[in-house]
Amino acid sequence: MNTPPLGELLETARIVALPMATRFRGITTREALLFEGPEGWSEFSPFVEYEDAEASAWLAAAIDFAWNQQPAPVRAAVPVNATVPAVAADEVPGVLARFDGCRTAKVKVAETGQTLADDIARVHAVRTAMGPEGRVRIDANGGWNVDEAERAVHALADADLEYIEQPCASVDELAELRRRIVRWDIPIAADESVRKADDPLAVARAGAADIVIVKAQPLGGVRRALEIVTEAGLPAVVSSALDTSIGLAMGTALAAALPDLDHDCGLGTSSLFIRDVATPPLRPTGGVLPVGRIAPDDDALSRLAAAPARTAWWLARLERCYGMLAD
């Protein structure tokens, strides 16, 4: 990878704070650091609770996207899903209305402080809104143990789920759950067991998942994510980590380069923001996103600039993570 001097990153670095339309992952504002390289703008936005060792992979991805030409695309547009946070059932139609033309919805479940009854009500509200031809998938972010996940699958059997994303935290638990729910013929997708694992291929070797979720930033960039998909030998869904439009363009570059794309991708999440850094933002139209680089709008960068203390925090984080890459 062509790694520039730190000063070149700092020269164009801009830190933004994007207000969200609804709480997601426990946050109402999403912060990100953007910078520009020879190939265009890129994004470094590991969640604030992540340690530097994990965050450094995100920086490697951001540098690669800004300084190196990306793999050639095999498609010009990427179909995407709507994303429904852990909202009350009566809020579901309003959330889905933000995702133009999306015929697949991913629903967050297993939220801390909520119950299975809350999840059932939300999923059924999404199924009703999407109609019988819409596709509904759920994402538990590893929030259930095996017994809890099995109960949830049984309770949601009538929702005609496309797949269940990361129902349990560990690879062993995923493998056990997959054995238990074979009679319902509901695939299991692995997310955290890929992007947060020391060995992202362990879940495939263990036969613990039917689908891998890949995210460009956490996995170290588009090329590394493509390698993981190839080595896993499983269908892949490209998703975002609540990126700005700049980071989502990295995600579409990954999705566009995959030889096969059998499922709608989780790259429509700019629709969860009230404002984004690009004009227009990279949001789904007719259920798809165009493939191509995105540049931020200067006025948006100014309006969405993070507070001085937060800017200092992100710049210090950038320097620390850069040092880890150099080491």
Question: Looking at residues 206-231, what average pLDDT do you find?
Answer: 98
Distance between CA atoms of residues 104 and 133, nearest Å: 9
Is 108 designated active site?
Answer: yes
- What pLDDT is recorded for position 327? 82
Q: Residue 1: inside a domain, yes or no?
A: no
Domain shared by 180 and 92, yes or no: yes
Domain shared by 269 and 148, yes or no: yes
Domain shared by 123 and 14, yes or no: no
| pLDDT band per the 50, 70, 90 thresholds, residue 3 | confident
| pLDDT band per the 50, 70, 90 thresholds, residue 15 | very high
The answer, yes or no, to whether residue 250 has pLDDT greater than 90, is yes
Residue-wise pLDDT tens digits, 113-135? 999 999 999 999 999 999 999 99
Q: Residue 82: inside a domain, yes or no?
A: yes
The answer, yes or no, to whether residue 271 has pLDDT greater than 70, is yes
Domain with residue 319: its CATH number is 3.30.390.10
The answer, yes or no, to whether residue 1 has pLDDT greater than 70, is no
Q: Residue 299 contacts by C-beta under 8 Å, 6 or more apart in sequence?
A: 279
Q: For the chain, what is the mean pLDDT? A: 97
Which residues contribute to the annotated binding site for Mg(2+)?
A: 139, 165, 191
Is 215 designated active site?
Answer: yes
The answer, yes or no, to whether residue 2 has pLDDT greater than 80, is no
Amino acid at 295: A
Q: Which of 98, 108, 122, 137 is catalytic?
A: 108
The answer, yes or no, to whether residue 318 has pLDDT greater than 80, is yes
- What pLDDT is recorded for position 202? 97
Domain hosting residue 84, numbered range: 77-296
Written in H, E and C, the secondary structure of 49-76 is CCCHHHHHHHHHHHHHHHHCCCCCCCCC
Q: Which of 98, 122, 195, 215 is catalytic?
A: 215
Domain shared by 65 and 209, yes or no: no
Distance between CA atoms of residues 80 and 237, nearest Å: 10
Q: Residue 60: inside a domain, yes or no?
A: yes
